[in-house]
Structure 1
Amino acid sequence: MSNKDVAAEAVTGSGKTLAFVIPVLEILLRREEKLKKTQVGAIIITPTRELAVQIDEVLSHFTKHFPQFSQILLIGGTNPVEDIEKFKEHGGNIIVATPGRLEDMFRRKADGLDLARCVKSLDVLVLDEADRLLDMGFEASINAILDFLPKQRRTGLFSATQTQEVENLVRAGLRNPVRISVKEKGVAASSTQKTPTRLENYYMICRADEKFNQLVHFLRQHKQEKHLVFFSTCACVEYYGKALESMVKNVKIMCIHGKMKHKRNRIFTEFRKLPSGILVCTDVMARGIDIPEVNWVLQYDPPRSASAFVHRCGRTARIGHVGSALVFLLPMEESYVNFLSINQKCPMQEMKPSKNVVDLLPKLKSMALADRAVFEKGMKAFVSYVQAYAKHECSLIFRVKAKRSGLCESCQRFCSFEDAKDA
């Protein structure tokens, strides 16, 4: 608000969206020269479509009181030509966008839109979940977009974690920024805890052939609640989503991952409105997404990076609510608990595996034998899981060589990892 660039870091679920939406509107309201329909005063860039949709909704709560401002959402999965026509017809004083689509719009002069000319009046640029923007490989797009924007602007970087890549972006895109680090009430200023204080964090140690049984047992015991279940790959989401549908009855089960093109927005919107249900997902849902009343975040696979673990957990216990998270670990992975406690200041307590759990693996096997599509999904899931496991940043804990052979849950036979890759 005092015309300085900002690099803000705050624990996930603390309300960063309002921290930039409100000042953006205040700054635009203070302009001496009012914005014309196609003049862009503010751009908010965020890594995923779901987060962009969410920010656009929050923004619309405010802009309905200020009809002089037009806003537009530019994300993948929609027709870019329709976006251009919408911009020309209704304007876009405030743009909420994902990097790929925004860069594409800057380069579409042949379609009758010169966005580079429209942004000459830009006052504010916001990069939300800045570390994730770079982590997802958008660095080239971000740099291309920055080249189109005027240098005289206010820039804000908002993130739950500040990485070295974010530091590089701060140096490149911000002028002498004010650094803001927000802690929760009751947490010492010296504390670096990155998860909400109202979050109950658990881990469960169980063998590979017990994991699925324990997950299904847990979900059956908590049918009336709302859960996110994280897997490491898109193929795992496809396979386990299908498996859970047949194992957990009378519960709405939905799947979402990054390779979905047109269904993602509908699934996300529908799940947010559900009073209870299960969303099977990849890390596309790990950042900034605000789904009301999530009771449990279940991590079937630990994420590739420790910071992603914190962001997954942050989908519950948001804005002062209570919530719980549970990660399933193999016996050889138990040291991950101590690693998270030190590396992410994320203490966890053990939850013992339930006893006398029904063995569902024979049922999975019969599903695969009866339906070729299920068998194929299982094969793809297993191969992608192995490949993701091999790329884990904590390779000292998640050792591929120590897991040289493992139970292939799609076909119930022991496969070496080389066999899985060949398959």
Structure 2
Amino acid sequence: MLLVGGTDPAQDVAAFKARGGHVMVGTPGRIEDVLKRCAAVDLRRLEVLVLDEADRLLDMGFKAQLDAVMARLPKQRRTGLFSATQTEAVQELARAGLRNPVRVNVAVAVQQQQQPAKEKGNEKAAAAAAGKEKRKEKEEGKEGKEQQQQQQQAEAAAAAGAEVEAAAAAEAAAGGSQKTPNSLSIQYVLCEPDEKIPQLVRFLRLHGPSRKVIVYAMTCAGVDHLAAVLPRLPQLATSGVRLRALHGRMKQAAREATLEAFRALPAGVLLCTDLAARGLDIPDVHWIVQLDPPQDPAAFVHRVGRTARMGRSGSALVYLAKAEEPYVEFLRLRKVPLTEGSPLPPTEGQQAAATAVADDDAAPSTSGRDAVANGAAGGGKKKAGKAAPAAATATAAAAGGGSGGGPGGAVLSAAVSTATAEVLAALRGAAERDRDVMEKATKAFVTYVRGYKEHHCKFIFRLQDLHIGRLATGLGLLRLPKMPDLKKPLGASEFRPSPVDPSTVPYRDKAREKQRQKGLQQKQHEAARSGAAASAEERAAAKRKAAAAVAAEAAEARLPAAKRRQLQMKDETAALNQEYSLLKKLKKGKISQHQYNVATGLSDDSDLEGEEPEGSAKPAGAAAAGPAGRAEVRGSDSDGDDGADSSGSDDEGEGKAGGKGSAAGAGGKPGAGGRRGKGGKSGPGTKGGKGGPLGVKQHRGALQSYIDKKARKKKRQNAKKAQRQQQ
């Protein structure tokens, strides 16, 4: 009986009650649910518990479900844990209910290297047997059935321990052992991020029409992007490649339908994530292509394990960037050997075009071109497995020893560059014509960067080494998205944005485009309404501000003269204290003479430091007289009711600050920096000009505070009066 998600648990319970079952196969969550709902399951008759993919099931994600299931199972049972990457934590094995565990390793090793290990294992087994005989001799004199049973259990445990040690010694001695079968060939190709999809396109053109291929991507968004853009590329449109997509964001029914459709195909391509890395047994899978290495290194073995099953042969290929090449040695240490392969050559038509260009430029020999054509033709006739990389290597060798050796190598390099540029142009063109492709490409970029940042092998897959410009170009992005993860992206300046505005790209689906246009119109109407409301609010605020200014002026006019003089005296005292503080700073050298003149209004910012204002002499009472000169201002007579003072000038008069009995404004320039004289009266001069006296109009802090205070008091009185009237 199969127990998995996606169906009603009540149906599973009813089916079990109707038919029963000798073997129950399912996921931990659904098995736990059915056991809770169905009391007819007789767990006392359970004999064997099998945990397939045990390293994954013993993770914390399944801890609650497995603990609940095992708590209801009988302890007298046999338990088997199976996985290609088995966990070695003793506490995890104890959680699975294993007592006296025996580890069985199935590995591929050379026969000559296994012989010393077998001898060591035999020696340990002989030593264990000798120890067993000695213990028996010691126990001969003892009687009792219980002691004999204990002795037998200890002997069994010792024998199991000897077997485990012998297996471990054999595995350590066999330096050539590996976790993958000999019928599986794993190769890697070094290429830049913008060359991965073009390489994949050439690979699918070669193997997709006649072989079953599984292509793994890192994220669900990456699978969606490949499934959307690959059928629209002209390089694959006429090749007859059938594509299917499978990832974790699909519903269970869609997953099952996709898997069954791929199984039924005689040849095709399955684009998937690590969701399809475990538990799938699809017959006749010839190639495993890993466009992106998995986040978890353990998933690498499970990915390539989808081919070369049950004695069959298979091939696997992984694309790595140059900065990721240490990953190969890392896998070798984990007993997963890889061999380096060559990038696939372009098609015959692309080679012919590159050859024609080379004929016009350098006129290479015909023998080199014939070797290239023959190598490409021979590579297409060979069988799957090691044939394609071997053909690529032979082609490169025939072309002149690689991309840089001889005329043939130059032709092949030009052909590869041309083919890559054509695919990249087609990727960007698809994004410029269809908004769905553009959005999926952007999402694939974002999720790939985040997944790369969370890679388990951070010492190899470092985000600062990822070439962002090439990655965005390889996905066909129109613009680089802004991401907080990318503070200083590598190669971002090399990315060339598209001239097409992303906001103008329509959906290919007319219904989606109609809905998008409707949403844009709604946003525009909302923005217009909010803008009108904002402008109306600004106008209302300006009106309130103007009304407040008018009210302040009216309130100032209604004040009595004595009150105005009192408030004016407060402002002048504050200004005097400020100027005195500036004078002390000038004496101590904290500020320059120019800064002091600017702060006190004796000079302008545009004047050079140390230069006197034009048309006025340096006032004697400003810097020389000091505080004593300012004391005269305190005693000055200010009879004007409007509270406005005018400044006298030193240009005309006796040349002193504060001429004797001179009236302010008697021929002086407004704002020229003059001071009111001793005993002088304020006349109808300029109100608070630049450099003039600090009067009410310039320093009206105390007056404004008084007016605001009166206004608040009046407002509170009106509010209380209104409240009393309501009561």
Give TM-score scaled by structure 1 length: 0.76
Alpha-carbon distance in 2 for matches of 1:195, 1:377: 35
Shift in Å, 1:389: 0.8
Higher percent of residues as helix: 2
1:195–1:144 distance in 2 versus 1, CA, 3 Å: same
Tell me the residue number matched to 2:462. 399
- For 2:294 and 2:283, the matched residues in 1 are separated by 23
Identity %: 47
Cα 1:134–1:170 shift into 2, 3 Å: closer
RMSD of the TM alignment (CA)? 2.3
1:196 match: 181
Give the CA deviation at 1:416. 5.9
Deviation at 1:318, TM superposition (A): 1.6
Moved over 6 A (4+): none
Q: From 42, 52, 55, give the equivalent of 1:118.
A: 42
Counterpart residue number, 1:216:
201
CA distance in 1, matches of 2:290, 2:242: 19
Matched, 1:366 2:429: yes
Residue in 1 that maps onto 2:276: 285
For the residue of structure 2 that corresponds to 1:383, the secondary structure is: helix
2: CA distance between counterparts of 1:210 and 1:404? 12
Aligned position for 2:320 = 329
- Does residue 206 of structure 1 match 2:191? yes
- Whether the 8 Å CA contact 1:214–1:357 is kept in 2: the answer is no
Distance 1:317 1:136 in 2: 31
Q: Which amino acid aligns with 1:200?
A: S
Higher alpha-carbon deviation: 262-271 or 212-221: 262-271
Structure 1 residue 325: Cα displacement = 0.7
> Which residue is equivalent to 1:411?
477
1:390 equivalent to 2:453? Answer yes
In structure 1, what is the equivalent of residue 262 of structure 2? 271
Q: Distance in 1 between matches of 2:264 and 2:108?
A: 28
What residue identity is the alignment partner of 2:3? Answer: L
1:77 aligns with 2:6: yes
Q: AA paired with 1:375?
A: M
* 2:211 match: 225
Distance 1:349-1:245 versus aligned 2 partners, 3 A rule: same
Q: SS at 2:419's partner residue?
A: coil
Cα separation, 2, equivalents of 1:136 and 1:298: 30
Say whether the 8 Å CA contact 1:80–1:105 is kept in structure 2. yes
Give secondary structure in 2 for the equivalent of 1:211: helix
2:221 aligns with 235
- Measured after TM superposition, the shift of residue 353 of structure 1 is 5.0
Which secondary structure state, in structure 1, belongs to the residue aligned with residue 447 of structure 2?
Answer: helix
- Decide which of 241, 244, 263 is 1:254's aligned counterpart: 244
Residue 149 of structure 1: how far off its partner (Å): 1.3
Kept in 1, the 8 Å contact 2:199–2:343? The answer is no
Q: Summarize the Cα distance change of 1:277–1:412 in structure 2 as closer, same or farther, 3 Å threshold.
A: same
1:202/1:351 contact within 8 Å kept:
no
Question: What residue identity is the alignment partner of 1:328?
Answer: Y
- Per-residue CA distance 1:214-272 (angstroms, 9 max, x = gap): 11111111121110000111121111122222233312211111222221122212212
After TM superposition, the structure 1 stretch with the greater mean CA deviation from structure 2, 238-247 or 402-411, is: 402-411
Shift of 1:404: 6.7
Q: 1:203 to 1:347 in 2, by over 3 A?
A: closer
Match of 1:87 in 2: 16
Distance 1:410 1:83, change over 3 A: farther
Contact 1:253–1:280 (8 Å) recurs in 2 = yes
Structure 1 residues 103 and 147: CA distance shift in structure 2, 3 A = same
Partner of 1:27: none
> Letter of the aligned partner of 1:374 in structure 2?
V
Q: 3-state SS of the aligned residue for 1:251?
A: coil
CA offsets 1:113-168 (integer angstroms, 9 cap, x no match): 226x5323211111011112235822322122111212121111111122245x43
Q: Which moved more, 1:260-269 or 1:297-306?
A: 260-269
Deviates more, 1:209-218 or 1:88-97: 88-97
Shift of 1:200: 1.4
Q: Deviations over 1:388-407 (max 9, x none)?
A: 11111111110012227333
- Which whole-Å CA distance do the structure 2 matches of 1:303 and 1:120 have between them? 41
The residue aligned with 2:305 is 314
CA contact (8 A) 2:442 2:481 kept: no
Deviates further, 188-197 or 293-302: 188-197
Kindly state the Cα deviation for residue 410 of structure 1 after the two structures are TM-superposed.
Answer: 4.5
In 2: Cα distance, 1:128 partner to 1:365 partner: 43
Q: Do the aligned residues in 2 keep the contact of 1:405 with 1:416 (CA within 8 Å)?
A: no
Residues 365-406 of structure 1: CA deviation (Å, up to 9, x unaligned): 222232222222222222211111111111111001222733
| C-alpha separation in 2, matches of 1:240 and 1:374 | 9
Give the aligned partner of residue 12 of structure 1: none
Distance 1:196-1:403 versus aligned 2 partners, 3 A rule: same
8 Å CA contact retained: 1:205, 1:353: no
Asked if structure 2 preserves the Cα contact closer than 8 Å seen for 1:131 and 1:161, the reply is yes
Asked if 2 retains the 8 angstrom alpha-carbon contact of 1:125 and 1:153, the reply is yes
Q: Which letter does structure 1 place at the counterpart of 2:92? A: L
Q: Does the 8 Å contact 2:58/2:92 carry over to 1?
A: no
Q: Is the contact made by 1:202 and 1:327 (CA closer than 8 Å) also made in structure 2?
A: yes
Distance 2:93 2:265 in 1: 39
The SS at the match of 2:308 is coil
Match of 1:411, as an amino acid? Answer: L
Show the counterpart of 2:675. none
Letter in 2 for 1:224: S
Q: TM-score, normalised by structure 2?
A: 0.45
Shift in Å at residue 174 of structure 1? 0.9
One-letter amino acid matched to 2:460: I
Query: 1-side partners of 2:486 and 2:309: how far apart?
Result: 40
* Structure 1 counterpart of 2:231, from 228, 242, 245: 245
Letter of the 1:207 counterpart: E
Larger radius of gyration: 2
- Contact preservation (8 Å) 1:386, 1:417: no
Answering whether residue 159 of structure 2 is matched by residue 168 of structure 1, we say no
Residues 41-91 of structure 1, C-alpha deviations (whole Å, 9 max, x = no match): xxxxxxxxxxxxxxxxxxxxxxxxxxxxxxx10001122121111112111
Distance (whole Å) between structure 2 residues aligned to residue 221 and residue 264 of structure 1: 27
* C-alpha distance in 2 between matches for 1:119 and 1:367: 57
Deviation at 1:417, TM superposition (A): 4.5
Count of aligned positions: 344
The whole-number CA distance in structure 2 between the counterparts of 1:137 and 1:253 is 32
Q: 1:35-74 alignment to 2 at 5 Å?
A: 72-74=1-3
Q: Which runs of 5+ in 2 are unaligned?
A: 115-169, 346-415, 488-727
Greater shift, 126-135 or 387-396, is seen at 126-135
Q: Which amino acid is 2:273 matched to?
A: T
For residues 149 and 371 of structure 1, the distance between their equivalents in structure 2, rounded to whole angstroms, comes to 56
Relative contact order (alpha carbons < 8 A, sep ≥ 6): 1 or 2 greater? Answer: 1
User: Relative to 1, partners in 2 of residues 1:121 and 1:390: Cα closer, same or farther, differing over 3 Å?
Assistant: same
Aligned partners of 2:188 and 2:338 also within 8 Å: no
Report if aligned partners of 2:307, 2:313 keep a CA contact under 8 Å in 1.
Answer: yes
Corresponding letter in the other structure for 1:418: P
Specify whether residues 136 and 321 from structure 1 end up closer, same or farther in structure 2 by C-alpha distance, changes over 3 A only: farther
Q: Give me the whole-angstrom Cα distance separating, in 1, the residues matched to 2:268 and 2:443.
A: 26
